[in-house]
Amino acid sequence: MQEFTDFLAKQPPFDALPTDDIERLADKVEVEYFGIGTVIVTAGSEALDHIYMVRTGSVEVLDRGNVVDLLGPGDAFGHISVLTGLPPEFSVRAAEDTLCYRLPDPRSIVRDTSALAFNHFGTLITRHRLTASALMSDAQSNVTRYMRKIVWSDASASVREVAKAMTDSEQSCALIRSGDELGLVTDRDFRSRVGIGEVSIDAPVRAIMSAPIITVPNNTTLAAAFLLMVEAGVHHLVVVDENEKPVGIVRAMDLASVELRNPLLIRAAIESAQNIEELANASRLLLPSLVELHDTGIPALHVGALMSTIVGAILVRLLKLSDSIESPVTHSWLMLGSMARGEPLPISDVDTAIVWADLADSIDPAEEIQRSAKQILDRMEQCGLHRCPNGANADNLLFSRSKSSWIEVSRGWLTDPTRAGALLLSSIAADSQPLTQLALGRTITDTIRATTRSNEFLGALLRFTLAKKPPIGFVRDFVIEHSGENRGGLDLKQGGLTPICALARWLAIAQGDVRGRTIDRLKRAASAGLLTEEEADILINAFKDIYQLVFEEEIAAIRSGREGSSWISPQHLDSLTRRHLRESFRAVAAIQTRFQNEWESRL
């Protein structure tokens, strides 16, 4: 029994248990021997009531006949089925003569179940399979599931007639035909326009309708439809068929859960805030809402996009409430970086910039704008958002310029890579989203689109871009830190996300089109022939998986009240996730090498 105790005490998920609990487990161990080729677990069979740990030898994990992992001494299998009560998703076969320890459900044995470190749910492949099966959230359901029938009316009909038609049909909105255009009228329009006497009940309904309408295809998921609602700040979407014909309406209040509606409620609270204190109170709802959305099963990239939209709404409202802070000239505020791309992580800070209109006289408003920007950024931090610690902020004169100065410096970056900071600053500026004075704020992206990018610049920028390599190396095939607070750790953000984001950004700059998110940029590059379809698929899937993993780590940090980090220990990942990451990193590194050698011919 001592041999069992010593072995279990060294292996996750048992290594954090107290000695008496490990001894209880050791007392329940059964030893089983499996000859090479023996199928130990069969996918789709009845849910397991026991788990296995490999003591000697090795086993293969099979996904529909394909080997997806090889487990060795100390690795566990069968635990997903035990913990969920679901049939096993994978088969497991002895790759050689193998000795296993068999244990009943450890939760029924140990006294302190919270110490069982079942981080095996981090398994990327298993997560996707579970999400696609019994644990699938309503968020992934089709939007037609909650679709309501349409009440139709002509724009010439009176408000009274349309209100009666809506009442008779027990619906809260109606679609209005107005020539070649469609409009929408809702209960809120009747309350806000007719109820206060602004519009007569006998006036044509076109007087209160909203146009154009916002539509979604009938194969859209609830998560995607919900994201569009938050981004557009609306509570109704018109569902259309393959021929763009309206077939129904989905309302925010009909969505599946209170958790799913939270960001809409937060956005409403943001937009109705009358002072900084009220705005700060509304902003404090953001992080708990991210946790709840994650728990409903919404993909991390959707939750990140929602976060970006809500942060943008906070900044827009903050700027409105800060009108008393005088500025000498019209200017546009921009978000930069991952927040601008719609790919922030829960603990991301907010990078900002300013473009101001050129003045006819010789007055330089830079210092005054810098002072006002600092006050606004201070208020932003009162709302729980953090400015960039590396200086990418609107009160830094590097990121606060006149329109003509932005044009001049952007052109300089794109034509002369030897200019100080050209490669870094052009990369930062390529990820920008204007929040106010949109035409003025598009100065940077318009300049990138209009400026001819020299091969000298693109070559230098590519070398700068490819300097970030996936961490393939030494400990279980990863490069890790060997000293400092992150000793033994792997930075999934800098080593996993950044290489893919940076290559996608380079491709966007090379094409002169920096719109959209990383995945959008990769798809455009594949359409243009700069990437093969296979390369684009590899990069997109790796980006989704790594982003999901980092997002979940940060959500766990928020939930536990500890400081979030994108650092993770490879040894704390289960073997399937390690294998998946390792193969993703290798594939990304191979694409980097191939692209470095072929970029000029591809262009």
Q: What are the φ/ψ torsions at residue 152 (nearest 5 degrees)?
A: -100, 150
* Whether 77 contacts 109, CB under 8 Å: no
In angstroms, the first-to-last Cα distance of the chain is 66
Cβ contact 404:366 at 8 Å = no
Residue 570, token pair as written in the block: 């490879």
Output the pLDDT for position 543.
Answer: 95
Q: How far from 472 is each of 164, 527, 549, 567, CA to CA, in Å?
A: 67, 29, 17, 15
CA 262 from centroid of its chain's CA atoms: 17
Side-chain half-sphere exposure of 395, counting CA atoms within 13 A: 16
Q: Which residues contact 402 (CB under 8 A, 6 or more apart)?
A: 355, 356, 357, 358, 359
HEC sequence for 350-366: EEEEEEECCCCCCCCCH
Please state whether beta strands 50-56 and 215-217 pair in parallel, antiparallel, or not at all (unpaired). Answer: unpaired
Classify residue 168 as exposed, middle or buried by CB count within 10 Å of its CB (0-12, 13-18, 19+): exposed
* Beta-carbon count within 10 A of 577 CB: 24
Which is nearest to 499 in space by CA: 431, 587, 432?
A: 587
Over the Cα atoms of the chain, what is R_g? 28
Indicate the residue type of 231.
Answer: E
- Give the residue among 547, 551, 577, 575 at the shortest CA–CA distance from 564: 551
Nearest to 546 by CA among 502, 506, 493, 504: 493
Q: Are strands 66-71 and 181-186 parallel, antiparallel or unpaired?
A: unpaired
In angstroms, rounded to a whole number, what is the distance separating the alpha carbons of residues 230 and 238? 15
Cα–Cα nearest to 570, from 506, 498, 496: 496
Query: Which residues, including other chains, have CB under 8 Å from residue 210's CB and lie 6 or more apart?
Result: 183, 184, 185, 186, 189
Burial class (CB in 10 A: 0-12, 13-18, 19+), 5: middle
Tell me, yes or no, if the pTM score tops 0.75: no
Distance CA 298, CA 112 (A): 31
> What is the rounded distance in angstroms from the CA atom of residue 333 to the CA atom of residue 353?
6
Q: Which residues of 381-413 are buried (b: 16+ CB within 10 A; e: fewer)?
A: eebebebbeeebbbbbeebbbbbebbbebbebb
**Contact between 233 and 267 (Cβ < 8 Å):** yes
Contact 191, 115 (CB under 8 A): no
Checking DSSP bridges between strand 76-77 and strand 30-34, what pairing results, if any?
unpaired
Question: φ, ψ for residue 131 (rounded to 5)?
Answer: -60, -35
pLDDT along the chain (603 residues), means of 10: 83 78 91 94 91 90 76 82 80 92 89 61 40 43 84 93 90 90 89 84 92 90 74 82 92 57 72 89 86 80 90 94 81 94 93 90 83 95 94 92 88 78 80 90 84 82 88 55 56 89 93 90 94 94 92 85 72 73 88 93 89
> How many other CB atoms are found less than 10 A from the CB of residue 453?
18
Residue 254: what pLDDT?
66
pLDDT for 262: 60
Helix %, strand %, coil % for the chain, to 5?
50, 15, 35
586, 496 contact by CB (below 8 A): no
